[in-house]
Chain A
Amino acid sequence: MDGASLSVMNQTVPAGAVASSDPLAALLEELQFSLNEGPCVDAATWRRPVLEPDVRMLPAGRWPALLAPLGDTPIRAVFAFPLQIGEIRLGVMDLYRKHPGQLSDPELNTALAYADAATNVLLSGRGDDDDVPDLLLDPVRHRAKVHQATGMVMVQAAVTIDEAFSLLVARSYAEDRPLMDVADDVVARRMRFAPVVADPSRGQPDPGGEGRARS
């Protein structure tokens, strides 16, 4: 691989690169954000990896604005991997190569594993391994109850799904209990989350807010 970058999401739109391995990777991100098209945007929208082994062979309609400037760079192959937990879109990992060609199976597996690791880092909100909650050691994505609880908290607290997940993690930190236990309590309806007061600075209408009885 010749370069890589990580972008984070703002709701459903990629909001900018947080890390790039080299100037070319940074340029690739920059082009995509200014033109709002490209592998990163597609991977986020479709929620699936986008694997383009040769950007110079693509039909012009694929990325009408991006392909011309991309053709002026040495970038030949681009691969984008969504960093997501179900509906929660955290970001995208972009990889590029200066020679055309598909990823081999081992390369693809490695890329997916890196995307996994990046997802965990974004989830935990920290890059060091100091005091990392259980969710890092025990991948959260495979626990149905955590996802069910996230959905429930989204309604209870009248927040977005990302925020609902953060609330669960915060509670797990605050009570120093495994996330799985907190999720268990929510699903068993032993624990509720009170509606979060809308923050006017976000300029967003409070979604829902049905005035449910709080616990």
Chain B
Amino acid sequence: MSDERPDAGTSTARRSASREEQITDAFVAIADTLVAGFDVADYMDALATRCRDLLHVDAVGLLLADVYGRPQVAATSSHRAQLLEVFEIQSDTGPCVECLRTGATIAEVDAEGTDPAGTGRWPEFTRLRREHGFGSVYAVPMRLRDDVIGALNLFRTSPTALDPMDLRLARGMADLAAIGLIQERAIHDSRALAAQLQTALNTRIRIEQAKGVLAERLGLEMDDAFEAIRRYARAHHLRLADVTEQILTSTLQAPMPGPPAPGPAEPTP
């Protein structure tokens, strides 16, 4: 198992110094996407990225239930995570699918012997997860009133359990994600969550299409194409949906940032 980042136990002191600040920053950043020009794609993306950084996990995926109650990928922080999410959806097994179905938080942690041989509930998923270098996975439900509308999935290279504080925070983030969807409904004066979710999923499809356009134009890998879109949006204070629209309607040809060079200075506070 690779050791990309310090493990939860070893760096508690260093972490806790700026912990409160980090959490505050994350909530402010997420709240920022909630105000003017709210866009559900930006919101989900910001949430996925912030969760990854804040919860000491290596990849994050957000699943939303579609009109049939089937899970669909709404945002992921990396290609590896997306592959696993898509696999779960296609095979209709795995912790995230289970979480969506039961509304319970589901954990699979290698070091705890949850499933050492990989022969447990989802042998195929477990095998793939390990192949992609993840030692543990958590699925936290996104709840809205009595409904489970989605799941927040946390992937870690570490095979150890998530810090209980981090897990509580994860639940808070999942609640925030649900609130974001309510907000979207309020703004557009639609009472229908199902319609809202479908719209959010369609936005996700447009982003995938725009990634393809950009990957072809600039000879980029898909992940790098998304990173370029994200960076351009941030640098120009645009919503992901705006940049996507520009790419797909070809109004944005030349000025797109080249191959993954260091982006323009980030105007973020």
Chain A residue with Cβ nearest B192: A108
CB-contact partner of B192 in A103, A113, A153, under 8 A: A103
For A156, the chain B residues whose CB sits under 8 A away are 216
The distance from the CB of A152 to the nearest CB of chain B, in whole angstroms, is 4
Report the bound CA distance from A147 to B202 in whole Å.
Answer: 11
- Complex interface: chain B residues within 8 A of A187 (CB): 212, 222
Q: Is the CB of B217 within 8 A of A48?
A: no
Q: In the complex, A109→B196 CA distance in Å?
A: 12
- When the two chains form their complex, are residues B209 and A148 in contact, meaning their CB atoms are under 8 A apart? yes
Q: B215: which A residues are within 8 A, CB to CB?
A: 148, 151-152
Beta-carbon nearest neighbor of A210 in chain B: B217
Q: How many angstroms between the C-alpha atoms of A151 and B210 in the bound complex?
A: 6
Interface residues of B in 56-96 (CB under 8 A from A): 67-68, 72-73, 82, 86, 89
Given contacts A48-B188, A85-B205, A161-B209, contact A151 B214 (CB under 8 A): yes
B38 to chain A, nearest CB (A): 13
A-B residue pairs in contact (CB < 8 Å), sample of 10: A49-B190, A105-B194, A108-B192, A109-B67, A143-B86, A144-B86, A152-B212, A161-B248, A187-B212, A207-B250
Q: Is the CB of B212 within 8 A of A151?
A: yes
Given contacts A102-B191, A148-B215, A151-B215, contact A49 B199 (CB under 8 A): yes
Asked if residues A152 and B194 are in contact (CB atoms below 8 Å), the reply is no
Beyond A102-B191, A152-B216, list 7 extra A-B contacts (CB 8 Å). A47-B203, A48-B188, A49-B192, A108-B195, A112-B67, A113-B68, A150-B209
B186 to chain A, nearest CB (A): 14
Which residue among B198, B205, B209 has the maximum number of chain A CB atoms within 10 Å of its CB? B209
Interface string of A110-122 (1 = CB under 8 A from B): 0011001000000
* Smallest Cβ-Cβ distance to A138: which chain B residue: B90
Q: Produce 1/0 per residue, B38-59, CB < 8 A to A.
A: 0000000000000000000000
Min C-beta distance of B108 to chain A, whole Å:
24
Is A172 interfacial (CB-CB < 8 Å)? no
Shortest C-beta distance, B185 to chain A (Å), equals 11
Q: Does B211 contact A (CB under 8 A)?
A: yes
The reply to whether A49 and B209 form a contact with Cβ atoms under 8 Å apart is: no
Whether a CB of chain A sits under 8 angstroms from the CB of B168 is no
Shortest Cβ gap from A97 to chain B (Å): 15
Enumerate chain B interface residues (CB-CB to A < 8 A): 67-68, 72-73, 82, 86, 89, 188, 190-192, 194-195, 198-199, 201-203, 205-206, 208-217, 222, 248, 250
Min distance, Cβ A112 to any Cβ of chain B, angstroms: 4
* Complex Cα gap A146–B201 (Å): 15
Ranked 10 nearest A-B pairs via Cβ: A151-B212, A86-B205, A147-B208, A148-B212, A151-B213, A155-B216, A152-B216, A49-B195, A86-B206, A112-B67
Tell me the smallest distance from the CB of B48 to a CB of chain A, in Å: 15
Rounded to whole Å, the gap between the CB of A132 and the closest CB of chain B is: 19
Could you tell me the distance in whole angstroms from the C-beta of B121 to the nearest C-beta in chain A? 23
State which of B205, B210, B250 has its C-beta within 8 Å of the C-beta of A208.
B250
- Residue numbers in B under 8 Å from A84 (CB-CB): 202
Q: Mark A127-151, 1 if CB is under 8 A from B, else 0.
A: 0000000000000011110011111
Report A167 CB to chain B, min CB distance, Å.
Answer: 13
Contacts of A148 in B (CB 8 A): 208-209, 211-212, 215, 222
Q: Which of B68, B73, B86, B202 counts the most A-chain CB atoms under 10 A from its CB?
A: B202
Whether A199 is near chain B, meaning CB under 8 Å from some CB there, is no
Query: Contacts of A51 on B, CB cut-off 8 Å?
Result: 190-192, 195
